[in-house]
Amino acid sequence: MARIIVVEDEAIVAMATKMMLSNLSHEIIVVVSTAEQAIEEVAKHDVDLVLMDIKLKGEMDGIHAAEEIRKTKNVPILFVTGNSDTKTKLRIGKTSNASMLQKPVMIEDLKHSLNLLLINA
């Protein structure tokens, strides 16, 4: 069981993600909707993984938040996004210990990605 922070600004998507993670027996520490909140929560908690949307409310996006988180912790990050453009993929590719899932997320794809990231953590 992993301790996970969910960063998602769409309430319905956040609820569905939380439910999938619970069904996979993971512990959701907190669900936040901004990059700034994500950075704060990762700093406060012992986290095994961050599930991070890319487009978020606030000044920063999820990739920028991951860059800030990396300055203090090397927690694995699973980006979940509706953006599959080349620029976004290149930015994600520069983030170490990270992976990406395309929305809508299916539970089997989520399980597989989590297993890969957590095994390599």
pLDDT < 50 regions, the chain:
none
Residue 42: predicted pLDDT: 98
HEC letters along the chain: CCEEEEECCCHHHHHHHHHHHHHCCCEEEEEECEHHHHHHHHHHCCCCEEEEECCCECCCCHHHHHHHHHCCCCCCEEEEECCCCHHHHHHHHCCCCEEEEECCCCHHHHHHHHHHHHHCC
Residue 82: predicted pLDDT: 87
Residue 56: predicted pLDDT: 95
Residue 89: predicted pLDDT: 87
Ordered domains of the chain (ranges, CATH) = 3-119 (3.40.50.2300)
| Chain segment 53-87, per-residue pLDDT in tens | 999 998 999 999 999 999 999 999 999 998 778 88
Global confidence as pTM: 0.95
Residue 121: predicted pLDDT: 64
